[in-house]
Amino acid sequence: MSDTSPPPAQQPQAPQAQRRPPTVALAEDRTSALREKAAQTAALNLLDRERSLLQFNRRVLAQARRDDVPLLERLRYVTIVSSNLDEFFEVRVADYIEAVRQPGSGITQADLAAVAQAAHELIDEQYTLFNNEVMPALEAQGIVVLNHAQRSTAQRAWVETFFEQQVRPLLVPLSLDPSHPFPLVANKSLNFIAKVGGRDAFGRENQIAIVKVPRVLPRVIRLPAALTPGYQGFVLLTSVIRAHLGALFPGRQVQSFSQFRVTRDSDLEVDEDDVTNLRQALRSGLTLRHFGQAIRLEVVNTCPDELTAFLLEQFSLPEVALYKVNGPVNLVRLNQLIDQAEAPALRFPPFEPRWPAGRLPHGRPIFEQLRQRDVLLHHPFESFEPVVQFLREAVHDPDVLAIKQTIYRTGTQSVLMDLLIEAARRGKEVLAVVELKARFDEEANINWAERLEAVGAQVVYGIVGLKTHAKMLLVTRRETTAPARGSKPAQTRLRRYAHLSTGNYNPRTARMYTDLGYLTADPGLTADADAVFLQLASQTQVKPPKHLVTAPFGLHKRMVKHLAQVAEAARAGKPARVVVKINALTDPQLMHALIEASMAGASIDLIVRGACMLPPGVPGRTENIRVRSVIGRFLEHTRVLYFRWGEGEDDEVLYLSSADWMSRNMFRRIELAWPVRDAALRQRIIDEALVPYLHDKRDAWVLDSSGRYKRVSETGASAQRALMQRLG
């Protein structure tokens, strides 16, 4: 089957405060991985992971410069970068700061300063693009954000009324003195600091005041159409408060002020060996997460030095943690402008994923169809609704006895969770493996766990010390075979049906993320899935799966083994090919195995959306490795792993997986990979999830040996657009 192998990609031309953790701090645990990574990175001459993540955000930001991207979508990419950077500081920089404080971590102040410098440069670039290109272009299209100086007399009057009626009643300025110390400022909340002159009501000259802005207030307000003839006018909440800040201090003078925002360490950690109830421990920690150690301080670039110095002192932050921005301190909230603007032409054309009627006809039970063949779903080009329908049929089918599902990120509202609850109410055996430590989804998952338990579902939280990241849905059905004439009587048996996926059980993100789902009644795969659920629930030793490959048990070893097979084939002059599509590549052992295969002469293409620490094209080491990243309308999330080490049919394998090639996925998570044995489906995955991305010219970037990315082109083929046309 060597003629089915994916072809090679075409080469383009050319000082800190004492930490107050939400629960039990595990500083040594958090830094041990960084310590090991630093040593292995140096030994293998790898790229820096944190700067690679920032490079990814540069590629996202580049989408906001593209003339072929609609204007409101260009603004959305600007906000996505801000959201990504928030998490980068909350988690990655927080880990760096923790590591710097730990002797022998391998991370130095110089390393931290280098990451901070790269972040400063990216944020400066982001605001320059926002102010000089995106917003003027929107204004030219009649979507205008008006500051106080630009507002007409009538508009100012309307804004003043809005402030008095909707905003001022919710603001409580706090003047600082010994009995009114600097307040606790929540993570990523909007605040104002003001220096005021004159005396307060008690005759004192306390000069500094803090104004917290409630999250319930809208950050973008649309002006009435009658006040904006011929265009759509908006004002930012920060501009409204700024224009009327003096009204909060009657009898005093506002001498200087600034909006500010602090980003805090938000990696919620518990010592799972030291708590009796993980759910309760996490529930308690959630309220304190907003007040972890300060990591970054954002102020507007007009903020006086004395106020920035005061804020840095209050948050115990060094100068390098200060980010002066030319605009709102939270660009993420400008999503409200995108939602409110009436301009369909400035958004991506609507795209409706298609039900794969040719392979999964309407009107026939899905179970009946799966008994005949496996079904592959390619999201978001194909609808996620078949997965919902699969579960819905299971819930309402009286012959379905048990339903088991893993829950990682499903959202605060979920038709799938509602169906599981209904299944339990109907008396079916429901097992939900809920990952409570899914970062920033902990509260939603805790709420779903409690609702499921309330109706009698069995809820477990995976394995202590490991996150359950595998995506599995298993249905057990009682089926009766019809007797043939003259044969034995009808027999009853139990048959399993499964859905395995590279992505989450979240219908909303399934419209935005590319993923592959696999519906099957294959006895081997479903039996293995059942064994994995048994192990997660009972923690009992089970026989190694015959078909599924799981982490932390065998997935890493299997990947290393296949890379060794490819290297051996290359040395013997046989076909030797690797194509891997993942979200991140940071595991040192896997990168070492890739280097060995490259040095042996294997042809290797890596399609890595985000962080990639392996530099390609290094003579004598990685000259046979090509790395590309595709950034388009949808977030690339599919994990596909292809290996060929010879000419025979048994010398080729293709896996779908929930795991990225990161050490945490291989050793600290429950992950899943499964081989696609059906030749037609394997070829379809190659044709849809690999080949178009290897030849993408419009949305692809290529990585060079120095760690820099270059866009292949701005014209030509786009993998995502082609798939939208083919499947949507």
| Residue list for the binding site | 84, 409, 439, 513, 609, 637
The secondary structure of 665-683 as a DSSP string is HHHSEEEEEEE---HHHHH
What residue numbers does the annotated binding site for Mg(2+) cover?
A: 409, 439
SS3 611: coil
The four Cα atoms 163, 168, 170, 176 give a dihedral, to 10 degrees, of: 140
Closest CA to 577 of 587, 563, 590: 563
Confirm if 401 and 427 have CB atoms less than 8 A apart.
Answer: no
Pick the catalytic residue: 244, 378, 379, 469? Answer: 469
SS3 513: strand
Residue 682 structure tokens: 């394997």
User: What backbone torsions phi and psi does residue 122 show, to the nearest 5 degrees?
Assistant: -65, -45
How many other C-beta atoms lie within 10 A of the C-beta of residue 497?
23
Calculate Rg over the CA atoms of the chain: 28
Element (H, E) at 256: strand 253-264
Told to judge if 469 belongs to the known catalytic residues of this protein, a careful annotator would answer yes
Dist. CA 479–CA 312, nearest whole Å: 68
Residue that is written with structure tokens 């962080």 in the block: 611
Dist. CA 380–CA 360, nearest whole Å: 16
Q: How many CA atoms lie within 13 A of 488 on its CB side?
A: 5
How many other C-beta atoms lie within 10 A of the C-beta of residue 561?
13
Closest CA to 615 of 597, 595, 631: 595
Residue 202 structure tokens: 């008690």
Confirm if 256 and 195 have CB atoms less than 8 A apart.
Answer: yes
Residues 537-550: b if buried by 16+ CB within 10 A, e if exposed: eeeeeeeebeebbb
Tell me, what DSSP letter sits at residue 172?
A: -
Q: Which residues are catalytic?
A: 469
